[in-house]
Amino acid sequence: QVQLQESGPGLVKPSQTLSLTCTVSGASIRIGGYYWSWVRQLPGKGLEWIGKMYYTGATYYNPALESRVTITVDTSQNQFSLNLRSVTAADTAVYYCARPAFSKKDVFEIWGQGTVVTVSS
């Protein structure tokens, strides 16, 4: 059974970098055809896709965040990470990592439990 678990600081100061890690268990992050994504949910609002990565290191980002986002992979640890730079209060959200149900189709069947990140001084 594939499980995802987000981890990282729950509080980040404005202008600093938000760093989160998603640990994958029950499957290899190197599985062919599957891109691994980050999605966030702003307080009381809907869902926003941040970006995705393939185990080779290939990445795609949401243009709205692209200038501040980096997603990286550590295949030896079966983890992938999110870095969001120059954060403001508007980046306060629940951050999820997610895996698609199918190869090459970004329909999210498996989600982490989510981690709350607050941006505040």
Partner 1 sequence: EIVLSQSPGTLSLSLGEGATLSCRASQSVSSNYLAWYQQKPGQAPRLLIFGASSRATGIPDRFSGSGSGTDFSLTISRLEPEDFAVYYCQQYAQLPLTFGGGTKVEIK
> With contact defined as beta carbons under 8 Å apart, do 97 and 7 qualify?
no
Query: Is residue 108 a contact point for partner 1 (CB under 8 A)?
Result: yes
Query: Is residue 31 a contact point for partner 1 (CB under 8 A)?
Result: no
Burial of 78 (0-12, 13-18, 19+ CB in 10 A): middle
Question: Could you say which of 46, 75, 82, 84 contacts partner 1 (CB under 8 A)?
Answer: 46
- DSSP type of residue 79: E
> With contact defined as beta carbons under 8 Å apart, do 66 and 90 qualify?
no
Query: Is residue 10 a contact point for partner 1 (CB under 8 A)?
Result: no
Q: Which is nearer to partner 1, 87 or 112 (CB)?
A: 112
Please report, as ranges, the residues that interact with partner 1 according to CB under 8 A. 37, 45-49, 60-64, 96, 98, 101-102, 105-109, 111-114
